[in-house]
């Protein structure tokens, strides 16, 4: 299968989406964006558990006052549909032993507060703010070089060389050379987590760029970061382009020394397909390392052309990843006096011993954490969420490299629990009462980051911001391969806004000598409101029937515009409101008829859709998606579900019946009352044990929660597979119980 496009973009992170959107809007180009993950947006994507959502990579964005380049780009690329909510005036709080400091949304007030706290360092503080601005401008000129014609590029490079001394020293060297108080040095370096290198390694230039970007405070997208990709998508599609998920690019195709397309593993369907897409222009948002070391040949003519760049990339050792505790709270954090500001909490003043800090994190005693409250920032008061993050050395997780989630063993589960308790404990000591509000929590590690973003070792900031990286701008939008360009943070700067500027640089270079003026002229005309269209990879769907299985569970049956093949366990994305899509497991497909089970108990957008939709209503559905699969291996199969978690198992039961394996399976279904047991609505199922926690169970049932039934269940861990689907808390509890009982194969799907 081959398709032809004007431009192919590898990766749907902010750099890829921005480049694609600018080329579509400003030049009318037909752009195909390919995303390996099942969710578009890269590190701006969100994930949901029981209605609540968390933003995995965007925690706040700076420099979004009206009229700034960053704000104009967001407005233009989203067609004006993306709204931004300013954070509170004192948007950052730095906490150290005996020292607390609130950062205001005004650089002059920020400087004055520092001087008031450290009056003996007043002159050095004044110079620091001057040097921050100068080093940030120096950094920006390096990005601008990539958008300039060759003569201007060369001249600007000479000018930058004259001012490189301060920007290309380390942050720690700058601080040691200008300040005396250790507390002040630590305070000024607090935000190093925003660019991913400790002060003794990071270039002062990247520190300056990041700190200066927040001089006027921080902003957060109204409704959450997931809206960024969905609003950008409409402009790409309106010009004939598309964003396709589940598309793993394995190779950039080369003919006669030129990029001509990509080879892809299409992961969406019931079987993996090999696909080639063709285009005269390819833009990679996969990161410089992946692009040069995996997607391009490292031998032959191309290998020789890219050898120096690969050597340079390999010389940039270092970089960190993170562990993140995603927390759902019972009450808003305003009950603790928190208004949505960020907290940087530190038990000491030493930011430079990353190895020792990582060991403390693994032992459950982190020295430095960052706490963010996405629901408070986004203005969504339906759900209350927090994120607790700390940087770690990814090599500490190397022993589990290449393993699959749910199959990493009890020691990994115990490590995650220890880390989670340590993060929550550190946050609670600074924000007393936070731990008591926790309703649900889930931890991600560098392995999680690598799985979802493809960043090697989970180093999500890309190439480390070492001084050597900026002394010579060897990594740029242009590559030694004709027709191939880079975008994203590796050609600009870390963070969402930095990656977006990388997209501007890539689009400008693709459009030639007058590319940047052409884009700026188009932007000056204002954001375009794109017409709605349903691309070929989505389906129009009409609701045929709606049945209440219980007061909180609907069975929705849709008619698709054409039949769809799927694998039991896969899911769909259902459009439930403008720019809002929700994931639901496929409960069954027969011809063009699709069945979903949808709960309304979360009271989110999906709940409102299910309650209000009537037969005949049209919507859009993207399917099939996901890698949750039934495995035919002859083992005993235990299915564990609550509520709509039954949905992916229904087509699995049909598949087992066709192969004669249904008798070797059991279903444990948990609910509070017998009236909530929806299994009776479906005749084809294995032996079913209803686990009733709120009243007497039926004959053959179990009195109690389904996780307690698993504690008492007799099974051979080596000969039994467990499939678990339901609420996030139930899935987490069952996973813990089964891991402690020695189960090595736990296939989960939390909803």
**Per-residue model confidence as pLDDT tens digits over 92-121:** 999 999 999 999 999 999 999 999 999 999
Give the span between the Cα atoms of 177 and 239, in whole angstroms: 53
Q: Any long-range contacts for 102-105 (C-beta under 8 Å, 24+ apart)?
A: 102/341, 103/214, 105/215, 105/216, 105/217, 105/218
Token pair belonging to 108? 């002059």
Contact 373, 325 (CB under 8 A): no
pLDDT tens profile 259-303: 999 999 999 877 889 999 999 999 999 999 999 999 999 999 999
Give the span between the Cα atoms of 728 and 438, in whole angstroms: 14
Q: Which pLDDT does position 26 carry in this prediction?
A: 95
Token pair belonging to 217? 């405070």
pLDDT tens profile 718-739: 999 999 999 988 998 999 999 9
Contact 373, 339 (CB under 8 A): no
What are the backbone dihedrals phi and psi of residue 554, each rounded to the nearest 5 degrees, phi first? -105, 145
Looking at per-residue pLDDT, the higher value among 402 and 11 belongs to 11
Q: How many CB atoms lie within 10 A of CB 512?
A: 10
CATH architecture of structural domain 636-750 = 3-Layer(aba) Sandwich (3.40)
User: 667, 505, 577: which is closest to 73 by C-alpha?
Assistant: 505
Residues above pLDDT 90, as percent of the chain: 82
Handedness of CA 407, 412, 417, 419 (dihedral sign): negative
Strand 368-372 to 384-392 pairing: antiparallel
Q: Which pLDDT does position 144 carry in this prediction?
A: 86
Q: Which pLDDT does position 155 carry in this prediction?
A: 67
Give the span between the Cα atoms of 705 and 641, in whole angstroms: 11
Residue 639 bridge partners (DSSP): 667, 723
Give the span between the Cα atoms of 215 and 126, in whole angstroms: 14
Residue 259 bridge partners (DSSP): 254
Contact 625, 38 (CB under 8 A): yes
Residue 9's SS3 state is strand
Looking at per-residue pLDDT, the higher value among 398 and 281 belongs to 281
Q: Which pLDDT does position 531 carry in this prediction?
A: 55
pLDDT for residue 530 is more than 70: no
Contact 141, 156 (CB under 8 A): yes
Mention every residue, 6+ apart, whose C-beta is less than 8 A from residue 315.
468
Distances (CA, A) of 239 to 23, 24, 30, 41, 510: 10, 6, 6, 19, 17
- Section 429-447 average pLDDT: 95
Give the span between the Cα atoms of 651 and 656, in whole angstroms: 9
Lowest-confidence region among 315-329, 428-442, 662-676: 315-329
CA within 13 Å, CB half, 733: 18
- E strands, 29-98, in order: 31-34, 46-49, 52-55, 61-62, 84-86, 92-96
User: 53, 37, 34: which is closest to 580 by C-alpha?
Assistant: 53
pLDDT for residue 146 is more than 90: no
User: 319, 373, 461: which is closest to 55 by C-alpha?
Assistant: 373
**Residue ranges covered by each domain of the chain:** 2-83+225-317+464-524, 88-216, 320-457, 539-625, 636-750
What is the distance of C-alpha 529 from the center of its chain? 27
Mean pLDDT of the chain: 93
Give the span between the Cα atoms of 63 and 582, in whole angstroms: 31
- Section 319-337 average pLDDT: 94
What's 604's DSSP letter?
S
Looking at per-residue pLDDT, the higher value among 195 and 49 belongs to 195
Contact 322, 445 (CB under 8 A): no
Contact 15, 285 (CB under 8 A): yes
pTM of the model: 0.94
CATH architecture of structural domain 539-625 = Beta Barrel (2.40)
Q: Which pLDDT does position 630 carry in this prediction?
A: 94
Give the span between the Cα atoms of 713 and 218, in whole angstroms: 51
Helices 122-145/107-117 angle, 10° precision: 140
pLDDT tens profile 461-473: 899 999 999 987 6
- Section 704-726 average pLDDT: 95
Contact 296, 263 (CB under 8 A): no
Q: Which pLDDT does position 751 carry in this prediction?
A: 67
Strand 636-642 to 665-671 pairing: parallel
Give the span between the Cα atoms of 258 and 252, in whole angstroms: 10
Residue 484's SS3 state is strand
What's 112's DSSP letter?
H
The H or E element containing residue 642 is strand 636-642
Distances (CA, A) of 641 to 35, 183, 309: 30, 52, 51
pLDDT tens profile 650-690: 999 999 999 999 999 999 999 999 999 999 999 999 999 99
Dihedral angle, C-alpha 41, 76, 219, 243, nearest 10 °: -10
Mention every residue, 6+ apart, whose C-beta is less than 8 A from residue 459.
196, 319, 320, 321, 394, 446
Q: Which CATH class is domain 2-83+225-317+464-524?
A: alpha beta
Give the span between the Cα atoms of 668 and 653, in whole angstroms: 13
pLDDT for residue 434 is more than 60: yes
- Section 683-712 average pLDDT: 95
pLDDT for residue 602 is more than 90: no
Q: How many CB atoms lie within 10 A of CB 346?
A: 22
pLDDT tens profile 354-368: 999 999 999 999 999
Q: Which CATH class is domain 320-457?
A: alpha beta
User: 660, 666, 715: which is closest to 686 by C-alpha?
Assistant: 666
Residue 253 bridge partners (DSSP): 261
User: 339, 352, 363: which is closest to 423 by C-alpha?
Assistant: 363
Looking at per-residue pLDDT, the higher value among 384 and 318 belongs to 384
- Section 300-321 average pLDDT: 93
Contact 43, 56 (CB under 8 A): yes
What's 294's DSSP letter?
I
Q: Which pLDDT does position 159 carry in this prediction?
A: 64
Mention every residue, 6+ apart, whose C-beta is less than 8 A from residue 390.
322, 323, 357, 361, 366, 368, 369, 370, 423
Q: Which pLDDT does position 327 carry in this prediction?
A: 96
Q: Which pLDDT does position 528 carry in this prediction?
A: 66
- Section 433-444 average pLDDT: 95
Give the span between the Cα atoms of 652 and 629, in whole angstroms: 8
Contact 318, 484 (CB under 8 A): no
What's 203's DSSP letter?
B
């Amino acid at each position: 299968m081959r398709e032809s496009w004007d431009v192919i973009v590898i990766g749907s992170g902010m750099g890829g989406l921005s480049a694609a959107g600018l080329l579509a809007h400003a030049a009318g180009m037909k752009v195909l964006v390919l995303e390996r993950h099942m969710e578009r947006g890269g590190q701006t994507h969100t994930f949901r558990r029981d209605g609540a959502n968390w933003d995995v990579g965007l925690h706040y964005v700076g420099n979004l006052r009206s009229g700034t380049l960053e704000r104009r780009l967001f407005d233009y690329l989203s067609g004006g549909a993306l709204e931004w909510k300013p954070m509170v005036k004192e948007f950052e709080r730095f906490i150290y032993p005996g020292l607390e400091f609130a950062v205001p949304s005004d650089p002059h007030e920020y400087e004055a507060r520092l001087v008031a706290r450290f009056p003996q360092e007043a002159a050095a503080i004044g110079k620091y703010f001057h040097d921050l601005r100068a080093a940030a401008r120096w950094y920006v000129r390096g990005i601008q070089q990539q958008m300039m014609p060759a003569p201007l590029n060369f001249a600007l490079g000479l000018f930058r060389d004259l001012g490189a001394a301060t920007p290309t020293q380390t942050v720690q060297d700058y601080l040691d050379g200008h300040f005396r108080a250790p507390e002040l040095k630590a305070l000024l370096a607090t935000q190093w987590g925003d660019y991913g290198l400790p002060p003794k390694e990071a270039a002062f230039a990247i520190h300056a760029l990041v700190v200066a970007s927040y001089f006027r405070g921080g902003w957060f997208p109204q409704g959450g970061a997931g809206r960024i990709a969905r609003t950008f998508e409409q402009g790409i599609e309106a010009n004939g382009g598309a964003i396709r998920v589940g598309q793993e690019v394995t190779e950039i195709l080369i003919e006669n020394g030129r990029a001509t397309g990509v080879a892809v593993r299409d992961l969406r369907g019931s079987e993996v397909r090999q696909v080639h897409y063709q285009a005269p222009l390819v833009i990679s948002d996969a990161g410089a390392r992946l692009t040069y070391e995996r997607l391009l040949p490292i031998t032959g003519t191309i290998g020789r052309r890219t050898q120096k760049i690969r050597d340079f990339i390999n010389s940039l050792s270092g970089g960190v990843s993170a562990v993140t505790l995603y927390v759902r709270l019972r009450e808003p954090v305003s009950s603790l006096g928190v208004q949505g500001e960020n907290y940087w909490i530190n038990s000491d003043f030493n930011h430079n011993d990353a190895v020792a800090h990582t060991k403390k994190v693994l032992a459950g005693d982190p020295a430095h954490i960052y706490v963010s409250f996405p629901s408070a920032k986004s203005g969504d008061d339906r759900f209350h969420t927090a994120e607790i993050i700390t940087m770690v050395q990814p090599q500490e997780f190397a022993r589990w490299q290449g393993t699959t989630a749910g199959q990493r063993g009890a020691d990994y589960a115990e490590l995650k629990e220890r880390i989670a308790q340590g993060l929550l404990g550190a946050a609670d000591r600074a924000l007393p009462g936070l731990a008591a509000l926790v309703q649900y929590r889930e931890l991600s590690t560098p392995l999680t980051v690598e799985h979802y973003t493809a960043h090697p070792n989970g180093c999500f900031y890309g190439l480390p911001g070492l001084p050597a990286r900026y002394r010579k701008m060897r990594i740029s939008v242009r590559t030694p391969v004709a027709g191939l360009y880079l975008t994203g943070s590796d050609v600009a700067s870390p963070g969402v806004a930095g990656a977006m500027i990388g997209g501007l640089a890539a689009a400008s270079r693709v459009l030639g000598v007058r590319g940047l003026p052409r884009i700026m002229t188009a932007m000056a005309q204002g954001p375009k409101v794109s017409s709605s269209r349903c691309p070929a990879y989505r389906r129009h769907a009409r609701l045929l029937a709606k049945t209440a299985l219980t007061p909180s569970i609907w069975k929705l049956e849709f008619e698709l515009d054409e039949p769809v093949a799927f694998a039991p366990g896969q899911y769909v994305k259902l459009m439930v409101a403008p720019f809002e899509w929700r994931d639901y497991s496929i409960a069954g497909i027969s011809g063009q008829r699709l069945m979903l089970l949808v709960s309304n108990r979360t009271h989110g957008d999906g709940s409102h859709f299910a309650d209000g939709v009537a037969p005949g209503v049209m919507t859009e559905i993207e399917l099939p998606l996901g890698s949750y699969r039934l495995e035919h291996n002859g083992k005993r199969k235990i299915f564990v579900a609550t509520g709509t978690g039954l949905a992916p198992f229904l087509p699995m039961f049909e598949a087992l019946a066709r192969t004669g394996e249904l008798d070797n399976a059991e279903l444990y279904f948990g609910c509070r009352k017998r009236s909530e047991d929806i299994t009776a609505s479906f005749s084809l199922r294995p032996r079913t044990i209803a686990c009733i926690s709120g009243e007497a169970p039926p004959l053959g049932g179990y009195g109690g929660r389904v996780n307690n039934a698993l504690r008492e269940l007799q099974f051979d861990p080596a000969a039994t597979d467990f499939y678990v689907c339901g609420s996030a808390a139930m899935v987490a509890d069952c996973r813990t119980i089964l891991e402690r009982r020695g189960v090595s194969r736990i296939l989960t799907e939390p909803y």
